Every structure is written in structure tokens, then in C-alpha cells.
Chains A and B, each alone.
Chain A
């Protein structure tokens, strides 16, 4: 089945009042708490800047603890701020595809999501944590998020997207729009832990003004039915930059079609895309990357590396570079294959057993640059990847 064959109208959304409210994550059930903790989402509740938890279509918890940021349920935010409509369905166009059309046509009182705003000039290193939890059988979760980092602000978001055990075939449709204003910075660390029968269709766009930075870390280490996502960043302002780091571990019969795109419109803009993919079993991964260089001094690099741990899995790497200006410098490198026996032998010649050598190579393969993240998020992210590695 091609990814586009999925029909969103097959799934029904839950009512907004289907689940209750909690005043702290600690009130949640044990399964949810354990899952959230695993993803590092329990860390920030007291020390963090804000928390948002959505179960199906219910906003169960939304709180702000920092003076530098504001976290609101999207419906409430749209009611409170008239100007917010100028940011709603702007970066992501409603008629992009059938999934955006489906989300845009859902009754407004059903659609939930978070609004996160970094207030002008405020640098908040403490994480904002958000969690989108698919909880009911055969449901479709429809989400619309808007993140605005005002001029000179910094926000750091860690977000977990998960599904409850045993809910069968279910769907997540998530629209996310990011606006990073002049000199602002957003780090967005997203961890997906769906399950075998989830169909996931996020649609994401980022608009960057002058000197803005957007750092995206995406980690998906658990099986999923199918996921298709290809966020696009518009670097409109001069000297703006984006970095997309992706770590994927495809297992079972997961089908993942994932990528990132950057349109370098402003002068001296830059994009860096790094992805690391491991597949086993019958996993099928398409790894896309597109950098459009459309202004003098634009720089971009796309790097995709994949390791196949089984003969029946597949990695299809599709890097695309589109230079529309002679004064751009965009490059790519891709390497996909098995673990090289030469490398294993080399580590064994330094005393490692074959298994140790293999896990060292895989571990090293999945290491990524955490230097842009606040320490709490970096630590939790590293812990999560390390734990997964132990299970390999």
C-alpha cells in the first residue's frame, strides 16, 4: 500500500471531553507515566518552563511556569489572541494534501494542539515539554500546533508522541507551524514511540526570519505501522540557519518515509541535515532530503548514513540539491550498507568480542550532536538512545 492510499476518513476522532484533566503528570496511570518517563518527559514538570499533555482530543494538562514563555491549548490561544489567526494555516497550507485538508476541515472544537510562544527578548533554557498521546482504540488524533519564538527569544521544546498499548489500528494527523522571528532560536526535540499499527501523518513547516535558528532533533526508535513526514523550513531572513538531525531505527514491518526540506531564500542562510538510519527485520525506510539554494552565500549540507542489519530490510536514500543561484554551496553525502567486516575485525584486533564490536559500531553510528540542546534535554535524549542500543 502506498503511503498516500491511507484514507483519513476511515478513522473517527474522540470527543474533546473523552478524558479527564490532571493537575500534574504524576496523577496519570502507570502505563502512561512509565512511557512518558522513558522519553524524558517527566523531567521538566517542576523545573521546566511549561507542560502540555493531550490525550486523543482532550487537553489534560497545560501549564506555564516561566515568565519567558507561554503555553496554551491552541483553541484558547486563538480565542485570546486575534492576531494568531495570521499564523494559523499559513506556513502549512490547508490544501497541501488530503491529510491537511482532512485536519483543516475537522470541526474547530475537536481540533486540539499546543500554542507555545517565546516572549520577545526572553531566553528560556528550561524545557517546554509537550506530549501527544493516542489513547483510544481505532481513533484518529487530529492536532494543530503553533510555535512562535518572538524576536530575540529562545525556546527549547521536547515533545513525545506515543500510543497506548493495544489500541489497534489508529491514526495521528498532526499539523505544526513554527515561526522563528528575528534573532530567535528554537530547539525542537521530538521523540516518536508509536506502535505497530499506528498510521502517522505529521505535516510541519518552519518560517525563519533574519538571523533566526531552528534546531530539529527527531528520534524514532520503536516500530510503527507507517509514518510519512517531510517538514519544510523556509529560511526567508538573511543569516538564518536550520539543522535537522534524525535518528531512525526501523524494526518489524515499519514503513517510514521521512525527510526534511530547506529553502534557502535569504542571503548567507544555511541548512545542515544529518540522518542515521538502522533497519532490521522487514523495515522499509525512505530517507529524503532537499536543500534549495536560492540566494547568494547560501550553504547547505545533507548527510545520510544507513546500516542494514537484515537482508529483508530496505533503506532508500533520496538526497536532492537544487541550486538556483550560482553563489551557493550545497553538498550531500550518502552511504548505506551493512556493517563492514573490516571494522568489526579491527575492533576485535583491539580485544573486543564480535558482539561488542558490533554494538560499539552501532552505538557510534547513532551518536549525534547534542551541543545545541539544554543539558536536561541532551541528557534525556542520550539516555533514551543508549537504552535502545542495549536492546539491539
Chain B
């Protein structure tokens, strides 16, 4: 279970410092998959990096809990040890470290250059076999980076998965491959009570949702959730109205939902 309680986060230093997330809360039970929609710059990646504990993201108030334990002060790797796993929107290239080294890292197989059978298997399913011996993300296309990220994360096998635009820059065929693999990884094919994995998926493309069943969607605008509700309905409305007026993404039908504040369309609440 993941619990984000009223966090406000700012980025940058000194004069450059600016608040990005504003008193934001999110609660994801084990076995649930939530999706976050939001325009560019609304704070989606900031939310992910904050949950991971990246330096440069200052939590001004609020806290983050995993399974009831406050992780707000933990370094990145200790959060990962508690079950967090991330697919990055823009993973960095690291010269001299091969994709296979990353696989061995998440599999906790140190001091070996061998390709383990499970790595070979997932690389094959994601069409990444030819990339295992290449420097991770170096010269990879956008889609190749995402497939490499998904491969690492499946091998890492976290109980709580954060996916920051796993589908952007990926061609439709590979979105389908990634979507189906994630759906299986997140145990969406099991009965709800049998599901253990939880996830937050950030996307602006609803296409991925054709393959990954999700429980709930949130619309993030200017560092706040404007509304929450049924993923398909919210997505349909975003398609119709776009994010131009952010609040248009929210539907009347979700207005009734408890805790969802929907503005009247004037831009003021």
C-alpha cells in the first residue's frame, strides 16, 4: 500500500526555487493500478522523482508511506529495497555499463558479465536481445529506451511500480507488447483479491490502456489532482476536450465522486 499524504514539493535552488506539487494526496492499495493524466509541466515526473527520493526535489510538507512506514527521508536505494520500482521517462545513458549489467544489478548478481536465463528470456520478448551488450540507453531510440526500462523493471520485480510515460515514443506495435507484458506483470489477469502488485502509470496516450486494465485515473493540473474517477471515461473526455483547459478533462459524472473538486470551467474554483 502506498500513501502520499498532503505533499508539497518544490524544485530548484535559491531564486530558481519553485513550488510544483501542491498539497497532493494519493492512496493506492495493494493490487490496484492507478493512472495519472496531465499536460506537460503539470508535475507528473516531479511526483515520481519525489517518491523515489531524488535530490533536487524538496518536500516542503507532507509525507510518503509504503505499507505504513514513512519513507520520506530514505535514500533512493532503500526505497527500492522496500519494493519501489520505476520506469523512467528519460533514463540517462551510462557509458561503460551495459544493459545486461543493469539486469544483473536488479537481479542482485554482482561480479558477473553472464547473461542470465531470465534476462535472455525477457530481452527476447521485448525484442531487446541485440541491446544487452550495449551501453545502457546510449544511442537507443526513444522506444528502445522504454523497452529496456520495462525489461529491467520486470526483472527487478518490485511490488510497487511507477511508470513514467512508458509508452511515449514507442510505436503502436511495441506499445501493445509492453502493455500486454505489464498487464500480466501487474497480475491484472487474476481475480482482484488475488492481485498483489500495485502501480501508478503516467501516460498521455490512452492507447496503452487498451492493454493494461486500470482501476482509477487522476487528472494532474498545475501540481494538483483536479479529479479522479474511471480511467476510460476520463480518457474519453480528454480526447474530446484536450488539456487546453485542464479542468475540461474532468467529467460531470465524476463530480459526484467524494473528494473530487471540479471547477466550473472559469479557471477559478
Contacts and interface: CB of A to CB of B under 8 A. Distances in A.
A351 B81 CA distance: 7
Contact of A351 (B91, B108, B135): B108
Contact of A365 (B52, B80, B91, B95): B95
A120 to B, nearest CB: 38
Interface in B99-114: 101-102, 105-106, 108
Contacts of B52: 349
A367 interface: yes
B97 A364 contact: yes
Interface string A345-359: 111111111100000
B96 A353 contact: no
A348 B76 contact: yes
Contacts of B76: 345, 348-349
Contact of A363 (B77, B96, B102): B96
Contacts, number: 63
Interface residues of A, number: 22
B95 A350 contact: no
Nearest to A343: B94
B80 A349 contact: yes
Interface string B18-46: 00000000000000000000000000000
Nearest to A351: B80
A347 B94 CA distance: 9
* B contacts with A: majority SS: mixed
B105 A346 contact: no
A364 B156 contact: no
Nearest to A386: B111
Interface string A337-381: 000111101111111111000001101111100000000000000
A348 B156 CA distance: 13
Nearest to B98: A364
Contacts of A341: 55
Contact of B88 (A343, A346, A361, A366): A346
B207 interface: no
Contacts of B54: 345
B55 A350 contact: no
Nearest to B91: A346
Interface string B50-76: 001011000000000000000000011
Interface string A161-187: 000000000000000000000000000
Contact of B101 (A305, A354, A364): A364
B54 to A, nearest CB: 6
B34 to A, nearest CB: 20
Contacts of B101: 360, 364
Nearest to B76: A348
Contacts of A363: 96
Interface in A308-360: 340-343, 345-354, 360
A342 B86 CA distance: 14
A305 B95 contact: yes
B75 A342 contact: no
9 contacts: A340-B92, A348-B80, A349-B80, A350-B80, A350-B105, A351-B81, A363-B96, A364-B97, A366-B96
Interface of B: 52, 54-55, 75-77, 80-81, 86, 88, 91-92, 94-98, 101-102, 105-106, 108, 135, 152, 156
Given A363-B96, A366-B96, 9 more contacts: A343-B94, A346-B92, A349-B52, A349-B76, A349-B86, A350-B105, A350-B156, A351-B80, A351-B108
Interface of A: 305, 340-343, 345-354, 360-361, 363-367
